Amino acid sequence: MTATGNGDAGGSTASLTNTHTGGSTASLTDAHTGGSTAWLADVGVDWSRDPAALAAVRADRSGWPPEGLPAAVVRPVDAAGVSRVLRRANETRTPVVPRGAGTGLSGGATAGAGAVVLDLSRMDRLVSLSPDDGTAVVEPGLITAALDAAAGEHGLTYAPDPASVAISTIGGNIATNAGGLRCAKYGVTRDSVLGLRVVLADGTEISTGTATFKGVAGYDLTRLFTGSEGTLGVIVQATLRLRPLPLGTATIAATFGDIETAAAACSALTRARVQPAIAELLDAATLRAIDPEHGDGALLLIQTDGAGAALEADLIVEALAGVAENIRMTTDPAEAAELLAARRLALPALERLGRPLIEDIAVPRSRLADAVREIAAIAERHGVPICTIAHAADGNLHPLIVVDRDAEDVPPHAQRAADEVFELALKLGGTLTGEHGVGTLKRAWLRRELGPAQHDLQQRIRQLFDPHGILNPGKAV
């Protein structure tokens, strides 16, 4: 499979030509950096240096790819393969970028010149599912929606559902600690991760956590790896918690004159003491990107679930009456899916407008209306269009600054607006990333949020796990 198994590039390393660099791969020397990836031929894992294959794994969906092409992409099919790759990369000090589906929005999986991309998408097995234990064991490349569908056959669900649920992987979700629409009620990815198998930078494989819902032996490394953005180890297997499928749902679409009124209305939900599973807010600019005929109003999509779904939905309708311009409620799943489709379509629609700079701040729920008001002021001050989507029940806002598609770099006025959005998050007692991760895009701000002492401690933790700094260098901490 190795030396002769490179399907992308023709099958034999002797004849491989690295057309990107113009160099010959007979010696497998990486002309970008002068480093060597000759060891790839010996690790027994499928790999490629074909320029088209490299171009396909160099960027994520943040819209800001790095300089140059990576040196190679490797595609292991099992944990042993991951281990062999990391052992050799560690010995040769080769940077490795773990990659799931590349749907990340913070530049976490981007891979520039010299890096080897560790593509985990072929490790996509659902290893086991135990309805009685309410758990599933999966490989990292499994698409998240596929797990939820498999759980559904047993009357169960895998609750974390990023809007990218149909295109992102469990491994990527864990590595970013992804949030989702339903996390208002069921928590983020970490709340469904019980245990992990992880390959460390030197190739050692370890198990963390438990197969049980409870377990407090030792430090909680499962939580440390969750959200570590490929910097501490490579997740090769996960034991996940499943939950019962809710007995029913009720979905509400409420329109408001503007987003500030809609954001303020979210506080009415909290005061009504109901627990929506989903509460998504879309501003007029986002709705116009989806449907150019849309006017000025904002949309709040709410879903309640469980035995009391309709009852809770009635309480919500009551709480919103008089504030909302229009309220529609349905318990029909097909109609609900249609209403929620607007939310899942939002980002792809905005990507069609230009190159998005996607922010991801979270603020205390009670400050949501303050946040949207001040974001509008920032947009006005810097003359940049900012479209805002929010996971409203979590106070998690995505202000999207859309810049010209041909812009080589972030234009200065857009950067200033982005900086002010971060500033605003911290001022309101929030965080600069609620779910997308730090990646490359938010790195400059991390020390500010963590404070120097914690930032230094986190860097020392990273060094402990990866002394030679081969795992996803230049990202996150």
Ligand X SMILES: Cc1cc2nc3c(=O)[nH]c(=O)nc-3n(C[C@H](O)[C@H](O)[C@H](O)COP(=O)(O)OP(=O)(O)OC[C@H]3O[C@@H](n4cnc5c(N)ncnc54)[C@H](O)[C@@H]3O)c2cc1C
How far apart CA 203 and CA 43 sit, in angstroms, is 12
Q: Which residue's CB is nearer to ligand X, number 35 or number 141?
A: 141
Write the DSSP string, 248-269: -EEEEEEEESSHHHHHHHHHHH
Q: Which residue's CB is nearer to ligand X, number 109 or number 240?
A: 109
Write the DSSP string, 404-436: -TT-SS--HHHHHHHHHHHHHHHHTT-BSBSSS
DSSP-based three-state secondary structure for 307 = coil
Residue 189 beta carbon to ligand X: minimum distance, rounded to whole angstroms: 8
Local structure of residue 362 (DSSP, 8 states): E
Q: Which residue's CB is nearer to ligand X, number 96 or number 410?
A: 96
Residue 284 beta carbon to ligand X: minimum distance, rounded to whole angstroms: 20
Q: Which residue's CB is nearer to ligand X, number 28 or number 282?
A: 282
Binding interface with ligand X (CB under 6 A) = 60-61, 97-105, 108-109, 120, 140, 162-164, 168-169, 171-173, 175-176, 178-180, 229-230, 234-235, 347-348, 435-436, 472, 475
Task: Note whether 215 and 209 are within 8 A (CB).
Answer: yes
Q: Which residue's CB is nearer to ligand X, number 340 or number 410?
A: 340
Helices (H), 305-451: 309-320, 333-351, 368-382, 412-427, 443-450
Residue 298 beta carbon to ligand X: minimum distance, rounded to whole angstroms: 19
Residue 282 corresponds to which tokens in the numbers above? 């879309």
- Closest residue to ligand X using C-beta atoms: 172
Residue 116 beta carbon to ligand X: minimum distance, rounded to whole angstroms: 12
Residue 350 beta carbon to ligand X: minimum distance, rounded to whole angstroms: 9
Q: How do 234-241 and 193-199 pair as beta strands?
A: antiparallel
Q: Which residue's CB is nearer to ligand X, number 179 or number 203?
A: 179
Q: Which residue's CB is nearer to ligand X, number 16 or number 201?
A: 201
Task: Note whether 350 and 286 are within 8 A (CB).
Answer: yes
Residue 188 beta carbon to ligand X: minimum distance, rounded to whole angstroms: 8
Residue 109 beta carbon to ligand X: minimum distance, rounded to whole angstroms: 4
How far apart CA 134 and CA 306 sit, in angstroms, is 18
